[in-house]
Chain A
Amino acid sequence: MDVAPYEWPAHQVRRALAAGQVSARKVAESALRRIDEVEPAVGAFLHLRAREDVLADADAVDAAIARGATLPPLAGVPAAIKANMCMRGVPASCASRVLEGFVPPYDATAVGRLRAAGAVILGATNMDEFAMGSSTEHSADHVTRNPWDLGRVPGGSSGGAAAAVAAGEATIALGSDTGGSIRQPAAFCGTVGLKPTYGRVSRYGLVAFASSLDQIGPLTRDVRDGALVLAAIAGADPADATCAAEPSPDYEAALRRDCRGLRAGLPVELLGGGTAPEVRSSVMAAADLLAELGAEVDECSLPTVPYALDAYYVIAPAEASSNLARYDGVRYGRRAAGAADYVEMFGRTRGEGFGPEVRRRIMLGTYALSAGYYDQYYGRALQVRTRICQDFEAALARFDVLVGPTTPSPAFAFGEKTADPLQMYASDVCTVAVNLAGLPALSLPCGFHNGLPLGLQVIGRAWDEETVLRVAFAFEQAADLTRRRPPLLGAGRMGG
C-alpha cells in the first residue's frame, strides 16, 4: 500500500479489515499520528478523546473480527463529531463559553448509530458558536485553518469537521446543516458533504440552532463514504418526533457510473451576479460533464429563491432565540459568579457566555417574534418559505436533480467577512433555500481555482438521496477530483 491508512476512505478501511490486511488499531494509530502531525496547524478539534480510549475502541473492533463476527459497515473507521452533538462523556461545548464544563450524560442518536456501525470516535470538532456562522471564526475557542491554504477559513459552521476530513485527521465526520453548514465547509475544504432530507436523520442529541432547519449529515472523502455514513445514521427515531418513518434504502446500491435517463436542472438564480467567475465556469463545466454522462441538462428558474436569505435570517434566529433560552446558568454550563439574584445571574451568564454573533441572532430572533412584529417578520418569512417550497416542487417535477454552485466563491481569508455580518450571511446564498424546503443536497468538488477547491451542489427531491448520490457518484468518478489531497505537511507519506 502506498498511502497510510489515515488517507483511506471508509470503504477502503472496511475492505482492508475484511481482507485482514490491516487491524483497526493500525488504522486508529495512523489517524492519531496524523492528528499529532497536523492538528497544531489546522486546529480542527475542540476536544480529542484520550488516546487509550480511542485505541480501546479500535481493539474492540479487532477482537470482534478475531471472533469472526460480521463486520459492521463502518468498522474501525476513525470518525470526528461536530461539537454540537452529544456524546456520553465528551464535552459538547458548541464552541461556546456558555456550555463550559457541560459533559453530556447521553449519546445523540446519530452518534450512537455511528458507534453501533463500528466507527471509532476521535473527538469533537470545532465550529462556529452554536453553528451560527460560515467560517468557524465565531468559535469561542480558536480558529480552524483550511488545509488547502492555512491563511483561509475552512467554512462553517462545520469547519472543524470538514478540515479534519480534508487534512486526513478523520476518515469521516458528522456535521450539522441549518443553512449550509455541512455543504459550504465541504466545498471550501474539498470534501463531500451531504445534508439529508429534513427528518431523515434523528436530531435527538443535536444541540438545536433552528429546529425546523437543522439536519445532521456526513462529511467524507468521497461519495461512497457519504452513502455509507448516511445509511448508518438514517432512519426513524422514537426520540425525535420530526424524524420520519420513511424506510432507509441501501444508499450504496444507488451509486452508478452514469446519469443516463436523468434530468438535471440548472437554476439560474443560483448563478446570480454575486457568483465568482471561476465558480460559474466550474459549475458550467460540471453541467457539461453531466450531459456527457447521459443527463439531460437544462436551465430552470426558482423565482423566489433570491428571497431565501432574508426569510432564513428571520426564521433561523427566531427559532434560535427560543432554543438558546435554556442556557441560563441554572442547571449546567457556565454560571456567572457573585450575582445577587436570579435576574442578574441570568443576564450576566448569558452576557458573558454568548459571543457577539450569537447575541446578535438572539436579538434578531427575539425582535422578529415580538408582539406587533410577528406578522411582519416571522409570519411573512413563513410565507416566503412556503413559496420557496412550491418553487422547488415545480422545478423537481421537471427535473430529477438541480445542480449549481455550493458557494458563490472559494474559501475566503480570515477576517475578510467578520467585520460585516451581512457579507458573512451572503456566503450562504446558494445553500439556505434547500434548508427552507427541507430537501437533500450534496456538495462535492468540481474544480480548483488557485489551489482552492470549488463545490458543486446537487439538490434532490425530498426522500430521494439515492438520486443525489447517484449523480454525485457518476460525476465524481468521471471528474476524478476527490482523490486530490491538500498540500499539507506530511500528506501522502507513510505514517511511520
Chain B
Amino acid sequence: MGGVGAPAETARRWQTVIGLEVHVELATRSKMFCRCSTAFGAPPNTQVCPVCLALPGSLPVPNRRAIELALRAALALRCEIDPDCRWDRKNYHYPDLPKGYQITQYARPLGRGGELTFAGAGGASRTVRIRRLHMEEDTGKSTHEGMPGGATGVDLNRAGVPLIEIVSEPDLRGPEDARLYLQALRLLLLYAGVSDVRMEEGSLRCDANVSLRPAGSSELGALVEIKNMNSFRSVQRALEYEEGRQAAALDAGERIARETRHWDERRGITFPSRSKEEAHDYRYFPEPDLGAVGLAPAFIEDTRRSLPELPADRQARYEALGLPGYDAGVLVADPALAAYFDRMLRAGAAAREGAALLSVELLGRLNAAGIGVDSPECRVHPEQLAALQGLIASGSISGKIAKDVLDEMLATGSDPSVVVQRKGLQQISDQGAIGEAARAAIAANPQSVADYRAGKKQAADFLVGQVMKATRGKANPGLVREAIARELG
C-alpha cells in the first residue's frame, strides 16, 4: 500500500472517520439546462450552444428528465424529498466554468437524511447515513494537450452535464469500508437507472473527508479532504495512505492541518494542494433565473413506484431461494447477470443448481471468450440454460455430459435437447443395457474381479470406470455402480 504503514497498535489508538462526497453524472441524453448532447468523447466544443457557452443573454431551462433521475437516486437512497427544493448559484472563477458560477442546490437540496446499507469489510452489514443529495451542473475541462506554446485549452462539451452530489455522513470507519460503500452506491445507482456510473469516464467521481480521533472519542479530528481518486482501488489506497500518514503524525505529537490533498496514483501518496484554492467564498445565493423545482406529490409517488428491485432486495430474494450469500452477491453485483438469472428462474430452473451452472459453467466460458452475458454473441439464452439444468435434474444427462452439451450450445445456439439428440448424448439408464455392459467389463477384467474378491473394494471403481468408458460417459453412473455390485455378488 502507501509509503506509510498503519501498525496495529496505532490502529487501536486512533479511530478513522471517513465521509464521502460522490458526484454522479445522470444518464440523460441532453444537458441540465440546455438541449446539447451529453455523449462522451466528442471533439472539443462540438456539443455547445449559447446556454452552455454562457453567451450574454442566454438562460437556463431545467431538464425534467435529469430531475426525474435525481429523484430516483434520492428515493433509492431513502432520502426525505423536498418537493419545493431550489436552485442556487455557487460563484467562483475558473476558465472551465463559463458562467463564473455553477448552478447547484445549497439551502434546499432535493434529498436529505437517506441511508445505504451494504456488506462492509469482512462481510458485516454496515449502514451509512446520507446527509444530502442535490442536483447541479458539471464544469468544462481545461486541457494542455495539443495546445501551442503552453496555452490552456477549454473544452465545454461537459459544461452543463447534469450531476447529482451525494454527501454521506462521516459514518465510514476504514478505507476498505469506504471502497465497499462506494461500490454499493455505484450498484444502487446502476440498478435505479440513474447513471452508467463509469469511474474511468468520470461519470462517478469521489472525494473523501478523512480524520482520525482517539479511539473512544466522539469528537471529529481535523478534516482532510482527498481529491483525485480515479478508481475504486485508488479510493482505498489513498485512504489507507492518508490514515497511516495522519496516525504517524498524531503519534509524533503533531497537529493535523485542515487542508485539501491530492492523491498521486503513481507515487502512492497524497500531497497538499495549494491553499489559495481553498480560500473560496462561494457567495451562494438563490438562482434568480429559475423558480423552485416544484415536484408534485403524485410525481414523487409515481417515481417511487417505478423504481425497480434494488440490490439489497434482490440479494435477499436470492438468499431466500437458497443461494449462499456469496453466490447471490456475485449475481447481484452484475445487473445483466442477475437479469439473466431471473429469466432462468422464470423458465423453471432450480435456483441453486441454476446459479452454479450460470456463474461457473456459462460465465467461465464467456469470460474466457471475452463475451458479456447480455451480448448478442452469447448464443445461449437463459431459457436454454434453464432447460439444460432441467436435463441434469431429471437425469437425462450427467453433469459431466452437460459441459459438452453447453459447449455445443454456445457454438451453435441450439437447444440442449437438440444437442443431446443430435449427438446421442442421452444418458443410458436402461437396466438391461447397463447390466450387459457391466458383465462385459467383469469378463474383460478378471484381475480386478480377483482383487475385489480379495477385499480390495476399490477395484469396483475401476470396473465402473470401464463401463463409463465403454458407454462414452453416457451411462448413468449410479446405475452402473449398482450393476457392478450386483454382478460381483
Instruction: Give the distance in Å from the alpha carbon of A154 to the alpha carbon of B50 in the complex.
Output: 33
Q: What are 26 residue pairs bridging A and B, where the CB atoms are less than 8 Å apart in the complex?
A: A84-B57, A86-B55, A92-B56, A99-B56, A104-B55, A203-B59, A204-B58, A204-B59, A206-B57, A241-B61, A241-B62, A242-B288, A242-B290, A321-B91, A322-B101, A322-B285, A325-B91, A328-B100, A331-B98, A332-B55, A342-B152, A369-B91, A369-B283, A369-B284, A371-B281, A374-B283
**B99: A residues at CB distance < 8 A:** 325-326
Q: Are A92 and B57 in contact, with the CB atoms below 8 A?
A: yes
Given known A85-B57, A325-B91, A326-B54, contact A319–B288 (CB-CB < 8 A): yes
Taking a contact as CB atoms closer than 8 A, the residue among B61, B91, B291 that contacts A239 in the complex is B61
Nearest Cβ on chain B to A236's Cβ, whole angstroms: 12
Given known A241-B289, A326-B98, contact A94–B56 (CB-CB < 8 A): yes
Q: Are A326 and B291 in contact, with the CB atoms below 8 A?
A: no
Taking a contact as CB atoms closer than 8 A, the residue among B57, B95, B283 that contacts A86 in the complex is B57
Taken residue by residue from 7 to 28, chain A's Cβ proximity to chain B (1 for < 8 Å, 0 otherwise) reads as 0000000000000000000000
Taking a contact as CB atoms closer than 8 A, the residue among B56, B61, B91, B93 that contacts A328 in the complex is B93
Instruction: Give the distance in Å from the alpha carbon of A240 to the alpha carbon of B101 in the complex.
Output: 18
Nearest Cβ on chain A to B88's Cβ, whole angstroms: 11
Instruction: Give the distance in Å from the alpha carbon of A204 to the alpha carbon of B57 in the complex.
Output: 6
Interchain residue pairs A-B with the least CB separation, the first 7? A325-B100, A211-B288, A212-B288, A369-B283, A207-B56, A205-B57, A326-B54
Most chain A CB atoms below 10 A, which of B54, B59, B101, B154: B59
Most chain B CB atoms below 10 A, which of A102, A207, A324, A369: A369
- Least CB separation from A214: chain B residue: B288
Q: Are A331 and B54 in contact, with the CB atoms below 8 A?
A: yes
Q: Dominant SS at the B interface?
A: loop
Within 8 A of A (CB), among B83-112: 89, 91, 93, 95, 98-101
Indicate whether B53 reaches chain A with its CB closer than 8 angstroms: yes
Indicate whether B335 reaches chain A with its CB closer than 8 angstroms: no
Instruction: Give the distance in Å from the alpha carbon of A208 to the alpha carbon of B290 in the complex.
Output: 13
Indicate whether A273 reaches chain B with its CB closer than 8 angstroms: no
Instruction: Give the distance in Å from the alpha carbon of A374 to the alpha carbon of B284 in the complex.
Output: 9
List residues of B whose CB falls within 8 A of some A CB: 50, 53-62, 89, 91, 93, 95, 98-101, 152, 154, 281, 283-285, 288-291
**B95: A residues at CB distance < 8 A:** 328, 330, 342
Q: Are A326 and B283 in contact, with the CB atoms below 8 A?
A: no
Given known A85-B57, A106-B50, contact A241–B91 (CB-CB < 8 A): no
Instruction: Give the distance in Å from the alpha carbon of A206 to the alpha carbon of B101 in the complex.
Output: 18
Given known A242-B290, A318-B285, A371-B281, contact A330–B154 (CB-CB < 8 A): yes
**A204: B residues at CB distance < 8 A:** 57-59
Indicate whether A392 reaches chain B with its CB closer than 8 angstroms: no
Instruction: Give the distance in Å from the alpha carbon of A322 to the alpha carbon of B289 in the complex.
Output: 12
Q: Are A370 and B289 in contact, with the CB atoms below 8 A?
A: no
Nearest Cβ on chain A to B125's Cβ, whole angstroms: 40
Instruction: Give the distance in Å from the alpha carbon of A238 to the alpha carbon of B61 in the complex.
Output: 8
**A102: B residues at CB distance < 8 A:** 56
Instruction: Give the distance in Å from the alpha carbon of A346 to the alpha carbon of B152 in the complex.
Output: 14
Q: Are A326 and B56 in contact, with the CB atoms below 8 A?
A: yes
Indicate whether A108 reaches chain B with its CB closer than 8 angstroms: yes
Within 8 A of B (CB), among A199-249: 203-208, 210-212, 238-242
Indicate whether A378 reaches chain B with its CB closer than 8 angstroms: yes
List residues of A whose CB falls within 8 A of some B CB: 84-86, 92, 94, 99, 102, 104-106, 108, 203-208, 210-212, 238-242, 318-319, 321-322, 324-326, 328, 330-332, 342, 346, 366, 369-371, 374, 378
Given known A328-B95, A330-B154, contact A86–B56 (CB-CB < 8 A): yes
Q: Are A208 and B283 in contact, with the CB atoms below 8 A?
A: no
Nearest Cβ on chain B to A237's Cβ, whole angstroms: 9
Nearest Cβ on chain A to B151's Cβ, whole angstroms: 10
- Least CB separation from B53: chain A residue: A331
Nearest Cβ on chain A to B57's Cβ, whole angstroms: 4
**A332: B residues at CB distance < 8 A:** 55-56
- Least CB separation from A343: chain B residue: B93
Q: Are B56 and A242 in contact, with the CB atoms below 8 A?
A: no
Instruction: Give the distance in Å from the alpha carbon of A319 to the alpha carbon of B284 in the complex.
Output: 11
Instruction: Give the distance in Å from the alpha carbon of A321 to the alpha carbon of B60 in the complex.
Output: 18
Instruction: Give the distance in Å from the alpha carbon of A31 to the alpha carbon of B395 in the complex.
Output: 98
Q: Are A211 and B289 in contact, with the CB atoms below 8 A?
A: yes
Q: Are B56 and A369 in contact, with the CB atoms below 8 A?
A: no
Instruction: Give the distance in Å from the alpha carbon of A240 to the alpha carbon of B60 in the complex.
Output: 7
Given known A322-B100, A328-B95, contact A369–B285 (CB-CB < 8 A): yes
Instruction: Give the distance in Å from the alpha carbon of A343 to the alpha carbon of B119 in the complex.
Output: 47
Instruction: Give the distance in Å from the alpha carbon of A328 to the alpha carbon of B97 in the complex.
Output: 10
Given known A242-B289, A369-B283, contact A325–B59 (CB-CB < 8 A): no
Taking a contact as CB atoms closer than 8 A, the residue among B55, B93, B100, B285 that contacts A374 in the complex is B285
- Least CB separation from A96: chain B residue: B56
Taking a contact as CB atoms closer than 8 A, the residue among B57, B283, B291 that contacts A108 in the complex is B57
Q: Are A241 and B60 in contact, with the CB atoms below 8 A?
A: yes
Most chain B CB atoms below 10 A, which of A85, A238, A240: A240
Instruction: Give the distance in Å from the alpha carbon of A238 to the alpha carbon of B290 in the complex.
Output: 12
Instruction: Give the distance in Å from the alpha carbon of A104 to the alpha carbon of B54 in the complex.
Output: 12
Instruction: Give the distance in Å from the alpha carbon of A99 to the alpha carbon of B53 in the complex.
Output: 15
**A108: B residues at CB distance < 8 A:** 57
Instruction: Give the distance in Å from the alpha carbon of A84 to the alpha carbon of B281 in the complex.
Output: 30
- Least CB separation from B96: chain A residue: A330
Q: Are A208 and B57 in contact, with the CB atoms below 8 A?
A: yes
- Least CB separation from B289: chain A residue: A211
Nearest Cβ on chain A to B56's Cβ, whole angstroms: 4
- Least CB separation from A106: chain B residue: B50
Nearest Cβ on chain A to B440's Cβ, whole angstroms: 86
Nearest Cβ on chain B to A31's Cβ, whole angstroms: 26
Instruction: Give the distance in Å from the alpha carbon of A104 to the alpha carbon of B288 in the complex.
Output: 23
Q: Are A242 and B50 in contact, with the CB atoms below 8 A?
A: no
Nearest Cβ on chain B to A83's Cβ, whole angstroms: 11
Instruction: Give the distance in Å from the alpha carbon of A211 to the alpha carbon of B56 in the complex.
Output: 12
Q: Are B57 and A104 in contact, with the CB atoms below 8 A?
A: yes
Nearest Cβ on chain A to B419's Cβ, whole angstroms: 58
Q: Are A325 and B93 in contact, with the CB atoms below 8 A?
A: yes
Q: Are B93 and A346 in contact, with the CB atoms below 8 A?
A: yes
- Least CB separation from B283: chain A residue: A369
Instruction: Give the distance in Å from the alpha carbon of A210 to the alpha carbon of B285 in the complex.
Output: 13
- Least CB separation from B99: chain A residue: A326
Q: Are A241 and B100 in contact, with the CB atoms below 8 A?
A: no
**B55: A residues at CB distance < 8 A:** 86, 104-106, 331-332
**A92: B residues at CB distance < 8 A:** 56-57
Q: Are B291 and A241 in contact, with the CB atoms below 8 A?
A: yes
Instruction: Give the distance in Å from the alpha carbon of A92 to the alpha carbon of B56 in the complex.
Output: 9
Known A92-B57, A241-B291, A371-B281; 12 more pairs at CB < 8 Å: A94-B56, A210-B288, A211-B288, A239-B61, A242-B59, A242-B290, A322-B285, A328-B95, A331-B54, A331-B55, A332-B55, A346-B93
